[in-house]
A and B are shown apart, each in its own frame.
Chain A
Amino acid sequence: MTHVVVESCIRCKYTDCVDVCPVDCFREGPNFLTIDPDECIDCAVCIPECPVNAIMPEEDVPAHQMHFVQLNAELAKKWPSITKRKPALPDADEWKDRPDKLSELVR
């Protein structure tokens, strides 16, 4: 099992989650974060940190976002580690409540 970052992170990337991760399992892309499923220990500490509720255990991912499980695993392999919080993307607040952002994902 692992925890998964889902769609609401796209174009926001608040990064509050990375400070609390005890095993440094977050990876950073241009406008999205992922969790490396090989590193995550399911401690769940990151969940309440996310201002847009983008993190959840694998089994709680809603059906229409299931592809994020695979996407996290795949992108975690190529993106670098992020362990310190940084400012969110400049227009994060504009994007945080928008649905269907997958087409905005920069790989």
Chain B
Amino acid sequence: MPAMNTAVAPIETDAVIVGAGPVGLFQVFELGLLEIKAHIIDSLAYAGGQCIELYPDKPIYDIPAVPVCTGRELTESLLKQIEPFKATFHLGEEVSVVHKRDDGRFDVQTNRDTQLIAKTIFIAGGVGSFQPRTLKVEGLDKHRDTQLFYRVRDPALFAGKRLVIAGGGDSALDWALNFAAAGPNQAGTITLVHRRDGFRAAPANVARMHELCAAGKMRFQIGEVTAFEENNGLLSAVIVSHAGQPVATLPCDAVLAFFGLSPRLGPIANWGLNIERKQINVDTERFETNVKGIFAVGDVNTYPGKKKLILSGFHECALAAFGAATYVFPDKRIPLQYTTTSPKLHKVLGVETPVFD
């Protein structure tokens, strides 16, 4: 059992939702109606999950009563809808440890050491947490976070350094231009490495990159990083190959690779849940897993007849919330109420109860 860091008092809450995609967000709503307070955690730095990461501008046509909306619009609408419930968001964090306590609640810990104690957990993890795709060069991984980076947390670390930036999308171009610009974080040298002279990035940035190359302010090398050299245990150069042949040896202090994000089920696999083909088995009455008090909703769950639809996820949220109420309020009978007519729900939603004469 991984030890819990006890330096800071953990946050006590009714529910922790793992995943801030559309279904995780709607779970906040359904819990909120039952007056169950939630904290919501997502590995991405923003809410929306697949809708934001994979399809932000693509239209969705099968949300009931919404003839068409984009992934971004759906996310924004859900965020507005759940505002009254004031859920606490922990973004850019991945839940690493879930452990059932003797009192029946759960210890939850993230990779950034946020600690919570929750009566119930809702896994709305979709296809998993989005992790950077890595450079597949044998042995290179040991330099990760010292000289090999897949994200930039502190640009100042790279000031004056000889950088190799790999990738052909917006992130690679944005950071290459950022580090080429005059200022406190300007790099010593920058070589952009991409397998072809074609980019999936804003055309203005691609043009700017070519201008800087022409002016000798940075360099563009076609190819892929396939090997590296070390000096005294430090990464000293990377070797770039094209069409199977080495074409350049680039001395460098750091390598930044931006190949996009790819989802991984990640630590969820280690929480003692029944998992079948990367999906969590649940019942269809409460969408509860084999661990009492842990529910799974949306694309991450499976049951006979499961269809991975956002609208199915929304339905699952409603039933899972009622399921959770038996743990959060064990002595209370929870009647079904309608937002249209229930003064109690109007109160939790923060809206006026209409008066009909």
A80 B262 Cβ-Cβ under 8 A:
no
Distance A39 CA – B261 CA, assembled complex (angstroms): 10
Interface residues of A in 25-51 (CB under 8 A from B): 38-39, 41-43
Interface flags, A50-72, vs B, CB<8A=1, else 0: 00000000010000000000000
Q: Does A105 contact B (CB under 8 A)?
A: no
Distance A18 CA – B126 CA, assembled complex (angstroms): 22
A80 B195 Cβ-Cβ under 8 A:
yes
A39 B195 Cβ-Cβ under 8 A:
no
A38 B262 Cβ-Cβ under 8 A:
yes
B127 A24 Cβ-Cβ under 8 A:
no
- Please pick, from A23, A43, A77, the residue contacting B262 in the complex, using a CB distance under 8 A: A23
- Please pick, from B55, B133, B277, B278, the residue contacting A22 in the complex, using a CB distance under 8 A: B55
Assuming A38-B262, A41-B263, is B278 touching A23 (CB within 8 A)? no
Distance A39 CA – B134 CA, assembled complex (angstroms): 11
Q: Which residues of B contact A38 (CB under 8 A)?
A: 262
Q: Does B54 contact A (CB under 8 A)?
A: yes
Q: Does A106 contact B (CB under 8 A)?
A: no
Query: What is the interface of chain A mostly: helix, strand, loop, or mixed?
Result: loop
Q: Which residues of A contact B323 (CB under 8 A)?
A: none
Q: Which residues of A contact B278 (CB under 8 A)?
A: 1, 42
A1 B277 Cβ-Cβ under 8 A:
yes
Interface centre among B195, B262, B308, by most chain A C-beta atoms within 10 angstroms, is: B262
Q: Which residues of A contact B263 (CB under 8 A)?
A: 23, 41
Chain A count of residues within 8 A CB distance of the other chain: 13
Interface flags, B51-66, vs A, CB<8A=1, else 0: 0001100000000000
Q: Does B343 contact A (CB under 8 A)?
A: no
Distance A39 CA – B264 CA, assembled complex (angstroms): 9
B260 A24 Cβ-Cβ under 8 A:
yes
Distance A83 CA – B260 CA, assembled complex (angstroms): 13
Min CB distance A74 to B, Å, is 14
Q: Which residues of B contact A1 (CB under 8 A)?
A: 277-278
When C-beta atoms are compared, the residue in chain B nearest to A41 turns out to be B127
Q: Which residues of B contact A59 (CB under 8 A)?
A: 277
Q: Which residues of B contact A23 (CB under 8 A)?
A: 54, 262-263
Q: Which residues of B contact A42 (CB under 8 A)?
A: 127, 277-278
When C-beta atoms are compared, the residue in chain B nearest to A59 turns out to be B277
Interface flags, B184-218, vs A, CB<8A=1, else 0: 00000000000100001000000000000000000
Name 21 interchain pairs, CB-CB below 8 A, sorted by A: A1-B277, A1-B278, A22-B50, A22-B54, A22-B55, A23-B54, A23-B262, A23-B263, A24-B260, A38-B262, A39-B133, A39-B262, A41-B127, A41-B128, A41-B263, A42-B127, A42-B277, A42-B278, A43-B308, A59-B277, A77-B136
Known A23-B54, A24-B260, A39-B262; 11 more pairs at CB < 8 Å: A1-B277, A1-B278, A22-B54, A23-B262, A39-B133, A41-B128, A42-B127, A42-B277, A43-B127, A43-B308, A77-B136
